[in-house]
Chain A
Amino acid sequence: MTWTAEKPIVALENVRKSFGTLEVLKGISIDVMKGEVICIIGPSGSGKSTLIRCINGLNDIQGGSIFVQGQEVHGANLNKLELRKKVGMVFQQYNLFPHKTALQNVMMAPLKVLKENKADVESRARQLIKKVRLEGKEDSYPGELSGGQQQRVAIARSLAMKPEVMLFDEVTAALDPETVKEVLVTIRELAEDGMTCILVTHEMGFAREVADHIYFTDRGVIVEHGPPKTFFDDAQDPRTKEFLGQIL
């Protein structure tokens, strides 16, 4: 199946996932078009992180299918490395490589995985660090950076691979309130540049502002979804209402 721009860049269909006997995803279907920003929200334990980790193959699935640019993620002839070059991921705990500087963290994958020319990679890495507003921190080690700064390095590191889709797994959940904003600003700019983003987040204000589409999950199913305005102002399902009532 060849992929064209009119088709969804990420297509989840009836995805099922269990850990042992515990079924955490009970048939999830989501279509994401190129350039779209999708926010997945929901109470903790509703399978949001599991869902996002399935998209780049960190988790396997028990049923349904996931296609990224026409490539089936859990198919038999999947080229995992090709998939992961297309899909960038940022984690809650940043997971920078502690023995490398910020610049080296950003440069490592393009150098070793894409085997690109060092000078090109370095100039791109410096631009990315500038883009996430960390100029002057190129030679700092992760241990010397704040959580927010580390998270922005992690975003730059992912972008250095020139991905088609970016996955954000509760990237602000471990941050101090005052550093949350700087990370969100970075993500918003990314979204404005036309990057396809799938975010799992608890930042409702942010979701409302940047998302094109919001999905609300609870106990492994999508309860309700829609554009932010309808979703937040005109929720239909009682579970959604209850959740939003607690949060807003």
Chain B
Amino acid sequence: MKQVSGINTPLKGGMAVLRPFDIKAHSPDGYIFTRWLAALPWWTPIIMLAIIGIYPTFASAQSGLPIFDAFDALWRWMPFLFFSGFLFNVLISFWSLLIGTLAGVALGLGQISPFGPLRAFSWFTTQLFRNSPWLVILFIVLLALPFEFTLFGQTIRVPDWMKGVFGLSLPIMANISEIVRGAVQSVPTAQWEAAESLAFTRRQILWQIILPQCFKRMLPPWMNWYAILTMATPLCSLLGIEEIITLSRQAMESEDNQPELLVPFYGFALLLFFVYCYPIARLTMRLERHYAVKL
């Protein structure tokens, strides 16, 4: 079978048949990031470690400082960076996922509501947050949300990290909304009709028959967005939230900003993110393949 260079789908049959252009088959699916991550070999962190290890040798050759200093500094900072930094990123990702998922499911169901104005509102909100740059959303949330608000006579300060959580949960919400809408619409209408004929109400059909069938379909894309979200949590460092990147920068400053620290410190953060997200990505792709065959 002949291959056209640069085209990796095999030509089926020998005849050249011009099929209608299938835009879906040619547009990137939602899994670009996760597929790339899952395709990396398991020994990627070893290569990372090697680079982190070799780099200070070059840097110190230029600056003339002793080699072991960089690792010594990283070693001392490691527990702090992990427990106060990285775990905080994980916490931010959990909260953003939780809020984003709850709001996203509501918005997704709004997108398939029989009530027109709700459908329009949900569609618009989804498109708005799905297609805006995350950083822009984060800054708007940071600047637009009040520092504090008064509830029942009590003044409550909104911590910055909560604003970060809220900001990150908005694009997650929009993408979950699309996942829910797509999954519900992928269930054949015959299922609705069969359930209607059995005198189920619309609400019962949705919650007891359609959504349970969708659950498996929604799981891989949902996990995909969790990996993307986790990788995006360092954006919060731009808001001054004390997560791993902010703390790494502060740690390096307190070590006199020596240039050979850069790669070990940021490399350590990269390694943590990789070790955390890689298994999620692998599992996501496995489930995706599994369910794709089954349904």
- Contact indicator B201/A81 (Cβ below 8 Å): yes
B200 in contact (CB, < 8 A): yes
Chain A positions within 8 Å of B188 at CB level:
95
Chain B positions within 8 Å of A161 at CB level:
198-199
A95, A99, A113, A157: the one contacting B213 at CB < 8 Å is: A99
A126 and B213 alpha carbons, distance in the complex (Å): 24
Q: Which of A65-73, A84-92, A202-210, A211-219 contacts B (4 or more CB under 8 A)?
A: A84-92
Chain A positions within 8 Å of B201 at CB level:
81
Q: How many of chain B's residues have a CB under 8 angstroms from any CB in A?
A: 17
B194, B196, B200, B213: the one contacting A112 at CB < 8 Å is: B200
- Contact indicator B193/A81 (Cβ below 8 Å): no
Mostly, the B contact residues are helix
- Contact indicator B199/A113 (Cβ below 8 Å): yes
- Contact indicator A89/B197 (Cβ below 8 Å): yes
Interface hub of B188, B191, B199, B200 (most chain A Cβ within 10 A): B199
When A112-B204, A112-B208, A113-B204 are in contact, do A97 and B199 touch as well, CB less than 8 Å?
no
B270 in contact (CB, < 8 A): no
- Contact indicator B213/A58 (Cβ below 8 Å): no
B292 in contact (CB, < 8 A): no
Interface hub of B194, B195, B212 (most chain A Cβ within 10 A): B194
When A99-B213, A108-B208, A112-B204 are in contact, do A84 and B197 touch as well, CB less than 8 Å?
yes
When A85-B199, A157-B198 are in contact, do A99 and B193 touch as well, CB less than 8 Å?
no
B209 in contact (CB, < 8 A): yes
Chain A positions within 8 Å of B194 at CB level:
89, 91, 95-97, 154
Chain B positions within 8 Å of A84 at CB level:
196-199
A58 and B200 alpha carbons, distance in the complex (Å): 13
A7 and B198 alpha carbons, distance in the complex (Å): 25
Pairs A-B, 9 closest by C-beta atoms = A95-B194, A84-B199, A109-B198, A89-B197, A95-B190, A81-B199, A113-B199, A85-B199, A99-B213
Residues of B at under 8 Å CB distance from A? 188, 190-191, 193-201, 204, 208-209, 212-213
